[in-house]
Structure 1
Amino acid sequence: MTPEQLSDAIRAALSALTERGDLTVTVPETVVVERPRQAGHGDYATNVAMRLAKPAGKAPRDVASLIGDELVARGDIASFEVAGPGFLNLTLGAAALGVLAGQIVEQGASYGAGSTLSGQKINLEYVSANPTGPVTLASARWAAVGDALINILRASGADVASEYYFNDAGSQIDRFAASLDASARGQEVPEDGYRGEYIAEVAQYVVAQRPDVLELPQDEALETFRILGIERMFADIRRSLGEFGVEFDRFFNERELHDGGDIVRSIELLREAGHIYDKDDALWLRTTTFGDDKDRVLIRGGGAPTYFAADVAYYANKRARGFDKALMILGADHHGYIGRLRAVASAFGDDPDETLEILIGQMVTLSRGGEPVKMSKRAGNIVTLDQLVEAVGADAGRYVMARSSMDSSMDIDIELWARKTSDNPVFYVQYAHARLSSLARNAAELGIERGDTYDAALLSDEREVALLTLLGEFPRVVAGAAELREVHRIARYAEQLAAAYHKFYDSCRVLPMGDEPATDVTIARLWLSEATRVVLANALGLLGVSAPEQM
């Protein structure tokens, strides 16, 4: 029985008590059921009695006793204990807990999914690195976290679209084009330009595509370097992300906002709402009205729109496409964006608490044996996603990025994450899945089949109960990760589950030895093992990490 099922059982018990007149309460829509903090306090605990005591006009402990007696009478639990001021500790019967293994195997890849975010339409934007250089290590973190968060949100019922905002306009792109032009002519790159071997490579690509580029008038040459340089650079970015297992539903070009009239339309809407004013030959948005620390320029004196104008139009574009919420993952250097973007949402008449969410992630460093990894000469003094994948592989790279809370900085020791040993967390979890797959193959070789049923009451050993209880927590872990946007909860759960299975396997023999016949206990434990394999595979799948069948 999962916590969700037990919650439903408690609600059913409350309904029965209310119908008989034993309690006079409104049955809550949800009942929180959690694992007790201390061993020996039952399988699950709930504080529902304390919540209902006042409207029921009874002492919390008396309400808890009524609920416990009803649950026992209905066969939902084996026993209960009322603790403290009215906590209800519940102990499931062996069969009630053991039946969970069969339910998990039956649900397969869908186990853990829920509907807590059903009805929400979310646009999740992440990475969005400018096409002026390779994907950096910091962007790799947003790629791993964002892609996993997409999976988790969808598993919780949300309608989510992943999006990469592709900046192909503005001063950074101008400097990129100028850097390519200078490199192709054998000249020094401008002081504010881009450096690194990749600049020379991209410049050579443009020349190969347009041999006449250096003979064109300067403006035409720069435009050619811009168009073809971005084309080549972005192809490289998509390749790097693809090799990391990250794909996007849409790549949104900033130029679309300029060419499609979104910037003009959004400014007119804000003007009609009374939030636009002219000052110093520029057009301003009065963001201080909505809590920003200063007003922001939308159109410069020369008539050119600012980056902020594009941000304003992009938010309006997302809302016009029907998204209830614009969710973004940004680096720590973008912390100042929060206030101004919330002001934008408010200026359009939205509640930013409902329609806008910005997750800020901290930086990443790479080390080997405690020493910082040298910068990439090719990339121009930055560590890249390609370096990470080359050093530890895509699976380990994604797992390590998703394993820590985004609001904490992290250092990745590539020696640790490249090891094929149990002190490498991703290897530890993947090995548990491979061990379970091997167990199933060994059972088949011995001619032992799980069949269609098993005796759930036989799964009563201490290690079996601990494993089953942890398996039952998975749907709640997924729901919590989606609600709090905390991908690392899935990784930490997978490690706990792998540890629980190793403990079970080491103390509870699954397959018979020698000429021993398979017993009902053998079959029950095979079901439990397969349930564990399913949940490990589902957890790894949410993180975008493979679940190998052998290692």
Structure 2
Amino acid sequence: MVISVVEEMRLALEKALVEAVRKAVEVKELPPVELPGFVVEVPREREHGDFATNLAMLLPRQARMAPRKIAEVLIQNLPHSTRWLEKVEVAGPGFINFILDPRWVLEAVPLAVNRQADYGRVQLGENKKVQVEFVSANPTGLLHMGNARGAALGDSIASILAFAGWQVTREYYINDAGNQIENFALSVEARYFELLGLEGEVPEGGYHGQDIIDTARRYIEEHGDKLLKVDRRVRLETLAQYALAEKIEGIKKALADFGVVYDVWFSEQSLHDAGKVDEAIQRLRERDFLYEHEGALWFRATSLGLEKDEVLVRNNGLPTYFAADIAYHMDKFNRGFDRVINIWGADHHGHVARLKSALQALGYDPDTLQVLLMQLVRLFSGGEIVRMSKRTGQFITLEELVDEVGLDAARYFFIMRSADSHLDFDLDLARTQSNDNPVYYVQYAHARICSIFRQLKEQGRQAPNPKDVDIELLREEAELALARRLADFPEEVALAARQLAPHRLTRYVHEVAGLLHSFYNIHRVITDDVTLTDARLLLMEATKVVLRNALALLGVKAPEKM
């Protein structure tokens, strides 16, 4: 089955080049050569042709000829039957550029219409298992802007990888163990006391948000003051369990409202309870990567090229967060994932190398772990940075952002820039219902196409069957330019999957929308010429398919009316 017109053309040109080499050797214009691993690719600049190859530049040593001369020989021996080939040129030091009849891209139009939701799907992953872990914020408060960016990126990357042939698991790591949970419990206890008219004090390193007060108030509404009379350890454990359950439920709801649903919610505490932290430590000890110093247990990271060793178990006998993280990643690979992707804040930069070194020490390939470091988000309104929430008096929450600009704008804006770029989120622009707003611009293109088909239905006509359409009636420059970008969609999906770069699809879909608007402003779709109308309707349907599929990968709706 043909999945990509671009890939089909690339393979045809590769085959033609192999045949050209064989023929050139046969007629003794080239000496016998062993075919190197050459590429045929789409040049970055379209003036260099539709495709280009480096084959001639890889043969000089074997052929004992200059690359440009080899390129000329290959061009002379290309099969005359190569479809759509209009012109071939030698460029630069020996590149061969292929210029095709512009109509070669038209085959993508019926292909997109026939494949519908599967158009653009590729098979890079070969059904291998990949886990994408993202957000994983401490369950001690509300989700903020940085969490929102991680949610949009992680969910889109997971969708793209699934569309590219991977078995994807979305996972959230709940940090429900360690000092932050103790401080969390102490903070809720302090507010619990205060609300009951007693003296309470939030500890140093504790949590001061309004949400902590709200949690304590809800507990009192449900259970009263009965915790005043119990042992303090029981009180802290009870409040911690209540507050954690409430916060985790709130996080789940906020993320679900943001279009993000996880397959697995993994508890850090479960690693300790199941003995998996001890198991990871024992495995490192057996492989001679641990030593004791001043009562603590250290990981010998310097033996793997790092600048310093790391503590795994403190001198009080408690394992560090790093020890739990090693156990967590060991568990990931023990669950059978071929590849693990983490999306972290840029402040975790120093943790990447030491975690990879620990995986190497455990006997795993460290390259099977990929970490995307996500830069900060700045929120702007009226040209000024917005720092504080009107409701909580602290940071802007995920829920507040979605209330302000809507789900689609929030998702789209967070994905517009690569993860390693700082993101300035313009609230005013995100609210704007105009073509200046990029998500509105793209969604309007889809809605515009839907309006054409409503108009067709009002006239009592039906959309054409692709097999009955003479697609080569599309000859206008605007038509061919749009068809060319539709043909690129599977390639764009493949690149976004390889690079873990959903921002490529926002850029791509914006270009498709621009080409659609340009075409629409110049040409009528429904005309008196029935055969031309059918061809243009098929082009519109193919464009609608691409816009819808691309937006779905980004977690953004494709509205039929605006």
Matched, 1:50 2:57: yes
Say if 1:463 and 1:504, in contact at 8 Å, map to a contact too: yes
Distance 2:231 2:204 in 1: 22
The match for 1:175 is: 183
Q: CA deviation at 1:326?
A: 2.2
The match for 1:157 is: 165
Question: Given the superposition, is the C-alpha separation of residues 234 and 154 from structure 1 closer, same or farther in structure 2, using an over 3 Å criterion?
Answer: same
The match for 2:343 is: 329
Say if 2:10 and 2:40, in contact at 8 Å, map to a contact too: yes
Opposite residue 390 of structure 1, the aligned amino acid is D
The match for 1:215 is: 229
Matches within 5 A, 1:198-347: 198-211=211-224, 212-347=226-361
The match for 1:397 is: 410
Say if 1:196 and 1:377, in contact at 8 Å, map to a contact too: no
Q: CA deviation at 1:19?
A: 5.3
The match for 2:111 among 86, 103, 107 is 103
Q: CA deviation at 1:539?
A: 1.1
Question: Given the superposition, is the C-alpha separation of residues 340 and 541 from structure 1 closer, same or farther in structure 2, using an over 3 Å criterion?
Answer: same
The match for 1:376 is: 389
Q: CA deviation at 1:419?
A: 0.7
Structure 1 residue ranges without an equivalent (≥5): none
Matched, 1:525 2:536: yes
The match for 2:560 is: 549
More off after superposition, 21-30 vs 101-110: 21-30
Matched, 1:426 2:429: no
Opposite residue 489 of structure 1, the aligned amino acid is R
Secondary structure in 2 matching 1:224? helix
Distance 2:532 2:52 in 1: 29
Opposite residue 50 of structure 2, the aligned amino acid is D
Say if 2:40 and 2:51, in contact at 8 Å, map to a contact too: no
Matched, 1:3 2:6: yes
Note the alpha carbon deviations across 1:360-415, whole angstroms, 9 max, x for none: 11111212111222412654622211111011011100100000111111121111
The match for 1:363 among 362, 376, 397 is 376
Question: Given the superposition, is the C-alpha separation of residues 449 and 343 from structure 1 closer, same or farther in structure 2, using an over 3 Å criterion?
Answer: closer
Say if 1:46 and 1:87, in contact at 8 Å, map to a contact too: yes
Opposite residue 52 of structure 2, the aligned amino acid is A
Opposite residue 322 of structure 1, the aligned amino acid is G
Distance 1:94 1:37 in 2: 16
Distance 1:77 1:214 in 2: 84
Say if 2:172 and 2:265, in contact at 8 Å, map to a contact too: yes
The match for 2:86 is: 78
Distance 2:529 2:36 in 1: 47
More off after superposition, 8-17 vs 191-200: 8-17
Note the alpha carbon deviations across 1:280-327, whole angstroms, 9 max, x for none: 111111112122332111112222111111011011111111112221
The match for 2:471 is: 456
Note the alpha carbon deviations across 1:490-530, whole angstroms, 9 max, x for none: 10111111111111122222112xxxx33322111111111
Question: Given the superposition, is the C-alpha separation of residues 162 and 26 from structure 1 closer, same or farther in structure 2, using an over 3 Å criterion?
Answer: farther
Question: Given the superposition, is the C-alpha separation of residues 7 and 62 from structure 1 closer, same or farther in structure 2, using an over 3 Å criterion?
Answer: farther
Say if 1:43 and 1:469, in contact at 8 Å, map to a contact too: no
TM-score by length of 1: 0.94
Distance 1:347 1:380 in 2: 46
More off after superposition, 134-143 vs 154-163: 154-163
Distance 1:50 1:522 in 2: 47
The match for 2:95 among 87, 95, 99 is 87
Distance 1:364 1:298 in 2: 33
Say if 2:20 and 2:77, in contact at 8 Å, map to a contact too: no
Matched, 1:12 2:15: yes
Note the alpha carbon deviations across 1:420-474, whole angstroms, 9 max, x for none: 1000000000111111111122223221532233222222211122112211222
The match for 1:114 is: 122
Question: Given the superposition, is the C-alpha separation of residues 224 and 161 from structure 1 closer, same or farther in structure 2, using an over 3 Å criterion?
Answer: same
The match for 2:197 is: none
Opposite residue 433 of structure 1, the aligned amino acid is H
Opposite residue 522 of structure 1, the aligned amino acid is T
More off after superposition, 163-172 vs 50-59: 50-59
Note the alpha carbon deviations across 1:154-176, whole angstroms, 9 max, x for none: 22222221111001111101111
Opposite residue 313 of structure 1, the aligned amino acid is A
More off after superposition, 452-461 vs 57-66: 57-66
Secondary structure in 2 matching 1:336? helix
Matched, 1:190 2:200: no
Distance 1:286 1:434 in 2: 59
Matched, 1:483 2:486: no
Secondary structure in 1 matching 2:78? helix
Question: Given the superposition, is the C-alpha separation of residues 323 and 25 from structure 1 closer, same or farther in structure 2, using an over 3 Å criterion?
Answer: farther
Secondary structure in 2 matching 1:79? strand
Q: CA deviation at 1:247?
A: 0.9
Q: CA deviation at 1:125?
A: 0.8
Distance 1:36 1:308 in 2: 43
Q: CA deviation at 1:191?
A: 3.4
TM-score by length of 2: 0.92
Structure 2 residue ranges without an equivalent (≥5): 195-199
Say if 1:362 and 1:407, in contact at 8 Å, map to a contact too: yes
Say if 2:449 and 2:544, in contact at 8 Å, map to a contact too: yes
More off after superposition, 536-545 vs 65-74: 65-74
Opposite residue 507 of structure 1, the aligned amino acid is I
Secondary structure in 2 matching 1:185? helix
Say if 1:10 and 1:67, in contact at 8 Å, map to a contact too: no
Question: Given the superposition, is the C-alpha separation of residues 140 and 299 from structure 1 closer, same or farther in structure 2, using an over 3 Å criterion?
Answer: same
Distance 2:336 2:311 in 1: 27
Q: CA deviation at 1:56?
A: 5.3
More off after superposition, 82-91 vs 180-189: 82-91
Q: CA deviation at 1:116?
A: 2.3
Q: CA deviation at 1:95?
A: 4.4
More off after superposition, 251-260 vs 180-189: 180-189
Distance 2:309 2:7 in 1: 48
For the aligned residue pairs, the C-alpha RMSD in angstroms reads 2.1
Q: CA deviation at 1:213?
A: 2.4
Aligned length: 545
Question: Given the superposition, is the C-alpha separation of residues 550 and 364 from structure 1 closer, same or farther in structure 2, using an over 3 Å criterion?
Answer: same
The match for 1:445 is: 458
Distance 2:307 2:544 in 1: 52
Question: Given the superposition, is the C-alpha separation of residues 261 and 272 from structure 1 closer, same or farther in structure 2, using an over 3 Å criterion?
Answer: same
Secondary structure in 2 matching 1:252? strand
More off after superposition, 162-171 vs 280-289: 280-289
Distance 2:130 2:145 in 1: 26
The match for 1:466 is: 481
Note the alpha carbon deviations across 1:317-338, whole angstroms, 9 max, x for none: 1111111222111101111111
Distance 1:30 1:355 in 2: 27
